[in-house]
Amino acid sequence: MVNLEQKIKLSVLGQDEAVSAVANAIRRSRAGLSDETRPIASFLFLGPTGVGKTETAKTLSRELFGDEKALIRIDMTEYTESHSISRLIGAPPGYVGFEEGGQLTEQVRRKPYSVILFDEAEKAHLLIFNAFLQILDDGRLTDGKGRTVNFKNTVIIMTSNLGGQYHLDDKLSAMDIQAKVFEELKKFFRPELLNRLDQIVSFTQLKKENIKGIIKIQLDSLKNRLQEKGYTVTFGESVEQMVLLYGFDKIYGARPIRRVIQNKIEDELALQILEGKLISGKKYQLGFIENRLVIK
């Protein structure tokens, strides 16, 4: 726990303040300074798309619970109607879906040690927020079958893109952006919910050097996967330049990078491997010439 910041920063770049805020809250809980009847920690992650909010949640699940599979992800755009509470916690007896249980409660019952990510939380119906309040207050939730589900060993993360447009306005200072985002926040989130969270964490727009670092991380990941299959590859500078050219988007942040690597590099590599043109045990240098992948 002492080095939690450093571990998160290996995969989340350019968000030092946000990472420190998260790590401090986790350490307070692990040191026994937090209320033990509530979840380990609870956060609202704010910021534009593609800046590291979800990646932080994934990293926390690895570092706290040893496995990325400990991440439970709930898309709140699917819970905008009043009746959707039944899908989340389970339908009451006599209603359709009673036997299936709730999408949230059943997952937490199976994985009580987990990070729960409520994506785009502001889209949820008011009744869903009532369930959030019970989780944050008591560390438990009663499902449709009347059973109590324990959330005391979970980390709760809600994300929101509210105010993301302000990060694109170069005329606004960091303080101006934060003030405007918090004004937006008050329109969608009830004060009693915000006051129960351990930390509201702001993620900022990524800089170009951060994007370059993320590209390197993802290319290294591909290199390691290929190495496991017996293919040793190195990427020339032209590869990183190509991914930067097509993978960086001011609106979507680092999110397009993965797709560009898949479409521009992995697709061609897969074809070469299946055709037998790449031979296990050999070394290959990859580069781009006139927007075409060249393998030597």
What confidence category does residue 23 fall into, taking pLDDT thresholds of 50, 70 and 90?
very high
CA distances from 87 to 46, 120, 135, 155, 236 (A): 26, 17, 17, 21, 49
| Joined tokens for residue 233 | 């590859």
| Domains, the chain, ordered by start | 4-202 (3.40.50.300), 208-295 (1.10.8.60)
What confidence category does residue 60 fall into, taking pLDDT thresholds of 50, 70 and 90?
very high
- Can you give the pTM of this predicted structure? 0.87
What confidence category does residue 22 fall into, taking pLDDT thresholds of 50, 70 and 90?
very high
pLDDT at residue 130 greater than cutoff 80: yes
pLDDT in tens, 200-256: 999 988 888 899 999 999 999 999 999 998 999 999 999 999 999 988 887 788 889
**In the predicted model, what is the mean pLDDT of residues 118-142?**
92
Give me the pLDDT at residue 159, please.
96
| Joined tokens for residue 248 | 């960086």
What confidence category does residue 97 fall into, taking pLDDT thresholds of 50, 70 and 90?
low
**In the predicted model, what is the mean pLDDT of residues 100-124?**
93
pLDDT at residue 198 greater than cutoff 90: yes
**In the predicted model, what is the mean pLDDT of residues 139-144?**
90
Q: What is the CA radius of gyration of the chain?
A: 22
Going by C-alpha positions, the residue among 171, 278, 280, 284 that lies closest to residue 235 is 284
